[in-house]
Amino acid sequence: MDDVHRAGMPGVYAEVRDAGQTWRGASGVADVRTGRPVRPDMRQRVGSITKTFTAAAIMQQVEQGRIQLDAPIGDYLPQLVPGERGKKITVRMLLNNTSGLPDYIRYAFPSLQDMSRESLDDNRLRQFRPAELIELGLTAPPAGEPGATPGVYSNTNYLLLGQLLEQVTGTPAEEYITRNIIERAGLRHTEFPAGPRIKGPHSRMYEALWGLIDPPRDYSVYNMSWTGTGAALVSTMEDLNRFYSKLLGGKIVNRSSLAQMQRTVPVIALDGTTIEYGLGLHKVTIPGCGTFWGHDGTVWGAGTLSLTRADGKRQMSVAINLQRWNKPDSSGKPQHHPIDDALETLRRQAMCGNGNAQAENASQVPAFVP
């Protein structure tokens, strides 16, 4: 972790569990101006790790017979997904990112296409409605045919799942997830934020936007309505390890539902790599070390990764407070940075007890993408 900090990351903190033993650590600063140190118990905007919570909530409703995995989404939300798409796209396709619906983020933040930070600032306190973001995804050019593989990772899918949850339960999705997932797992520091500020001890969140924001700017105060049931949760590394332990141990959904969640398909992630994706779960295989389940995620200025070995005995959750640090070369391709190597070593050390362990596929070890 010290090496990650020395490589240029302001702050990094983590919790690793191994066969009943727990290690927590932190290196660097939570505030580059004051030098306030990061701590292992800090709260973090955990980005797309939220998707596992949303998927688990959907599976609970499948168990109760209110949702059918292979039913068309148009049966439930005809106003949001009308016509042929509504008939072809199933709930399962939304969960495993094979719906063909494109991600809406580039349209909600249009200046990103011009490599400008303007949209980040404009949207800082903006209140988005899920329906308007879903509409951006639905009216954009399709990312693929419904059900085709590889799928294409899309936040549009998980906003629709939030609306589905609301439709079948009669309860706002965030409330349902809080009561039936967060509280059921005994998580004391995990919540959907009620406003733009994070409650409790937390780090500032520095966004570099591939060198466009230099020095990187703090985006820790932000209205998370732009991502909702896709990536809005705040949590701690301790809570994330506890959540995945409970989920993979069959304490949140039943074993049949968990088996469905662990049926993976190839999906193209937002960074262009291909990952193995189930229903809100990402599978990572490291030869000689094991198979891990979990998720990663980023929001502006913060990255988080949480992985649990299939036997449940080894867990790692790690948080960082700088994003998109790779400046582009003359062709526009992000350049390699010492932070990349230091993080890779940290992840493998934490997962395998060996920083030299080689992943089966380099892209299989998540690199903090949304």
| DSSP β-ladder status, 44-45 and 234-235 | antiparallel
* Residue 48 falls in the annotated catalytic set: yes
* Residue 11: partners with Cβ closer than 8 Å, 6 or more residues away: 5, 26, 27, 28, 29, 30, 37, 38, 203, 320, 321
The β-bridge partners of 23 are 16
Which is catalytic among the residues 48, 119, 220, 225? Answer: 48
Would you put residue 61 in left (φ > 0), alpha (ψ -120 to 50) or beta? alpha
Task: State the Cα–Cα distance between residues 231 and 296, nearest whole angstrom.
Answer: 10
Beta carbons of 9 and 347 less than 8 angstroms apart: no
Q: Return the active site residues.
A: 48
